[in-house]
Amino acid sequence: MNEKIKRHYQRINKSYTGAIHIAPSRIAKSLGQLYLYDKGLFFSSLSRISPNQLREVLLELDGDTFEVAIKRLPHAKILESIQNAQSDDATDIINRIELTDHSLASLLLHSLHPDMQDEHKELSAYEEDMAGAYMQTEILTATKKDTLRTVKDKIQKFRETEPLSSIIKLYIVDEGGVLLGSLHFTDLILFDDNDTIAYILETVRPRPPITIRAKSPVEEVVRLFSDYDLNAIGVVNRHGILKGHITYDDVFDLIQDLHTEQSYSMAGVNDDAEEQNTFKAGRARLVWLFVNLGTILLASFVIGIFEETIRQFVALAILMPVVAALGGNAGMQALTVTIRRLALGEIDYSSVKSVLLRELKIVILNGSAIALSIALISYLWFFNGTLSIIIAISMFCTLILAGVLGGLIPLILKKTGIDPAVASTVFLTTMIDSSGFLLFLGLADMFLV
């Protein structure tokens, strides 16, 4: 057994014996490595993970390893780990199993307590991009009539089943479950056991709670947490009734997921498919390659128009990629900045003037520098003044176009409700490549040949 494998095996073993607390994500990573290098150790390690840790480990396994693990684990053990999970985690596991083994998922679901089945049904009803899909339904609540003594009992009971990380604040609701406010635990510490919540609320006067509707988009959750430094947000339905809460640790994952999704979309990768098996990931990427084949063929078509010009002047074929590549780079700079700022909520369509002004300023300065340099280089290479002027002009214009489109396309897409990260790059590269070639070869056709 080589050193690396041994280390991974020992890590899992240590967590098994409870010798030290190891994060589930690290156990999952070690399992993934064992699966690759030593299937025997993988299966024996997998079987030794306690149901309690298993639920978190399962959520962290990569697609291929997850499929194998689910096939191999005893159903009773998977079931047990789901039963002990918090509502949002339980739903995640079942949904993930459903993607690889539909009948097992429904078998597991029907073996759960009816209450949990209802909960799963409710949480699954929310789309992946809605706040409701990320809430835990286990919350600590009190009414105004409760005394601090009752609340303390509730806290003690709640702590027996829930992890400390989900005990963040005390939500105050009325008899109908409508959220009235929330209290920090240090708000409670200074009061007497016989004081009622009503009295505490009057004395402390906490800020009105910031809430989110279960059907609001997850981006809004992230924005509220960042803007108001929240550690938990109450999720309410349209009647203001508290359905659950989303906690800071879910938001860490949410922010990471949104970023991954954004980066992947810009590169033509589907984040959900990547988490499934290799075949599905590859198929999703292939779609993008075909889209790009289409757009680049458009650019080839433009080149084809000037076939004769190129035959007479092959230097054009040599310099042609420079115009497209640098235009593409400058465009991606403007595009990336605009998409990021949109995602962070720093700009929206109303900022179109300031965004364009800024990108234009940058691209005029940089375009001049690049155009002059490329003119000089091409002159030293081909000793042809007209060619140098033509490439300088087309380079400059292509860069201006790149800056404007890079700033404009995401804003327009966002305004029309299309995810800018998904579609921007296609539009951008198609327009820059085609118009860059058209300009460069067209000018050459007119003045050079």
x/- letters, 120..159, toward its own copies (CB under 8 A): --------------------------------x--xx--x
Does residue 12 contact residue 27 with C-beta atoms inside 8 Å?
A: yes
Q: At which residue do the structure tokens 């310099």 appear? A: 319
Cβ closest to its own copies, residue 111 vs residue 260: 260
The HSE-up count of residue 383 (CA atoms within 13 Å, CB side) is 0
Residue 241: CB minimum distance to its own copies, A = 23
Q: For its own copies, which residue of 19, 76, 125, 325 counts as binding (CB under 8 A)?
A: 325
Residue 59: CB minimum distance to its own copies, A = 12
Q: For its own copies, which residue of 21, 110, 113, 238 counts as binding (CB under 8 A)?
A: 21
Does residue 371 contact residue 395 with C-beta atoms inside 8 Å?
A: yes
Type and span of the H or E element at 180: strand 179-183
Type and span of the H or E element at 233: strand 232-236
Dump the DSSP string for 374-421. HHHHHHHHH--HHHHHHHHHHHHHHHHHHHHHHHHHHHHHHHTT--HH
Beta bridge partners of 235: 212, 244
Q: For its own copies, which residue of 4, 6, 121, 157 counts as binding (CB under 8 A)?
A: 4
Distances (CA, A) of 415 to 26, 348, 356, 408, 419: 41, 8, 15, 11, 9
Q: For its own copies, which residue of 31, 299, 400, 413 counts as binding (CB under 8 A)?
A: 299
* Interatomic CA distance for residues 128 and 272, integer angstroms: 11
Residue 337 binding its own copies, by CB under 8 A = yes
Instruction: Kindly give, in sequence order, each residue whose CB lies less than 8 Å from that of residue 202, ignoring residues fewer than 6 positions away.
Output: none
Residue 378: CB minimum distance to its own copies, A = 9
Cβ closest to its own copies, residue 47 vs residue 278: 278
Cβ closest to its own copies, residue 32 vs residue 132: 32
* Interatomic CA distance for residues 162 and 140, integer angstroms: 10
Cβ closest to its own copies, residue 131 vs residue 230: 230
Residue 264 binding its own copies, by CB under 8 A = yes
Cβ closest to its own copies, residue 311 vs residue 415: 311
Residue 282 binding its own copies, by CB under 8 A = yes
Cβ closest to its own copies, residue 321 vs residue 385: 321
Cβ closest to its own copies, residue 111 vs residue 216: 216
Instruction: Supply 386's token pair.
Output: 């007209």
Chain residues 348-407 in contact with its own copies, contact rule CB under 8 A: 350-351, 353-354, 358, 361-362, 365-366, 369-370, 373-374, 377
Q: Where do runs of H (alpha helix) occur along 191-247? A: 197-204, 218-228
Cβ closest to its own copies, residue 109 vs residue 338: 338
Does residue 173 contact residue 145 with C-beta atoms inside 8 Å?
A: no
Helix, strand, or coil (residue 244): strand
Residue 267 binding its own copies, by CB under 8 A = yes
Residue 252 binding its own copies, by CB under 8 A = yes
Residue 251 binding its own copies, by CB under 8 A = yes
Stretch that binds its own copies, among 109-117, 291-299, 384-392, 411-419 (CB under 8 A): 291-299
Residue 129: CB minimum distance to its own copies, A = 18
Among candidate residues 14, 52, 18, 19, the one with its CA nearest the CA of residue 30 = 14
Does residue 378 contact residue 418 with C-beta atoms inside 8 Å?
A: no
x/- letters, 23..62, toward its own copies (CB under 8 A): xxxx--x--xx--x-------------------------x
Stretch that binds its own copies, among 40-48, 97-105, 128-136, 260-268 (CB under 8 A): 260-268
Does residue 222 contact residue 254 with C-beta atoms inside 8 Å?
A: yes
Residue 384: CB minimum distance to its own copies, A = 14
Q: Where do runs of H (alpha helix) occur along 73-111? A: 75-83, 87-100, 102-111
Cβ closest to its own copies, residue 180 vs residue 255: 255
Cβ closest to its own copies, residue 96 vs residue 109: 96
Type and span of the H or E element at 179: strand 179-183
Residue 346 binding its own copies, by CB under 8 A = yes
Cβ closest to its own copies, residue 107 vs residue 268: 268
Type and span of the H or E element at 172: strand 170-173
DSSP state of 207: P
x/- letters, 219..238, toward its own copies (CB under 8 A): ---x--xxxxxxx-------
Residue 409: CB minimum distance to its own copies, A = 14
Among candidate residues 366, 364, 382, 365, the one with its CA nearest the CA of residue 444 = 382
Residue 414: CB minimum distance to its own copies, A = 15
